[in-house]
Amino acid sequence: MEASLLDAVRSGDRRALSRAITLIEQGGEKSGLGRTRTVIGVTGPPGAGKSTLISELIRVIRSRGESVAVLAVDPSSPITGGALLGDRIRMQSHIDDPDVYVRSMATRGHLGGLAAAAAETVALMDAAGFDRVIVETVGVGQSEVEVMDLADVVVLIVGPGWGDQVQADKAGVLEIADLFVVNKGDRPGVEEVRRALRETAQANDASILVTTSISGEGVTEVLDEIDRLAR
């Protein structure tokens, strides 16, 4: 990748960052960058409210005066092959904030819950100077373990009614989580899920927190726990 483009990324030029990520996605470029900042990985089944919770995390992060970049990995469109952009829509309230950058990326058939260009993209976001980098996996289930190699802290988000699935899935994504979050805490079934997660959480030395992302309840505690784990 051209040194001038990387210099522009490092200077905080958001257009340059977008262009550099596009080059990485197209597969013909490498940045040659490493990363220095903590990366937060967010995973979990479809419908758990990952994107809504991330939007609330962004709100808390910004309230602390920090900037944040989000890589939202989406399923590929069967028509265009591009990302379906559902996550960017859910984070629409932050679109005009210059200290928030959200990039959707299609899996393009890549397995493991991420996209092939994810690691290079995170390195570019790091180089661009964001205080926080969040990676959201596509949300297809138990096989989403690749985020473990990219993130420093892995947050697994589940919803009420997922207790039976916890009992069935004793391996895979459950084993890599550093923090369990039961979202939609205002709905029935939360305590059942918490009980179902307890054994795995204890084995992982992981915490279990409850949030209601629509109201923001519990989200500050999630960010505080992420920071504790990162230390």
Residue 119's domain comprises 35-230
Q: What pLDDT, in 10s, does the model give residues 17-58?
A: 999 999 988 876 778 887 788 999 998 887 888 888 999 999
Helices 118-127, 14-26: axis angle to 10 degrees equals 160
Number of domains in the chain: 1
Structure tokens that stand for 152 in this block: 């420093």
Give the Cβ contact number of residue 66 at 10 Å.
14
Q: Is residue 29 part of a domain?
A: no
CA-CA distance, 138 to 113, in Å (whole number)? 5
Can you give the CATH number for the domain in which 75 is found? 3.40.50.300
Q: Is residue 83 part of a domain?
A: yes
CA-CA distance, 117 to 20, in Å (whole number)? 11
Q: What pLDDT, in 10s, does the model give residues 62-114?
A: 999 999 999 988 754 433 444 445 545 666 778 889 999 999 887 654 444 45
Q: Is residue 1 part of a domain?
A: no
Contact in structure between 212 and 182 (CB atoms under 8 Å): no
> Is pLDDT of 140 > 70?
no
CA-CA distance, 27 to 25, in Å (whole number)? 5
Long-range contacts of 121-124 (CB under 8 A, 24+ apart): 121/21, 121/24, 121/25, 121/71, 122/35, 122/39, 122/71, 122/150, 123/31, 123/33, 123/34, 123/35, 124/9, 124/17, 124/20, 124/21, 124/24, 124/31, 124/33
Q: Is residue 68 part of a domain?
A: yes
- pTM score: 0.86
CA-CA distance, 140 to 173, in Å (whole number)? 11
Q: Is residue 8 part of a domain?
A: no
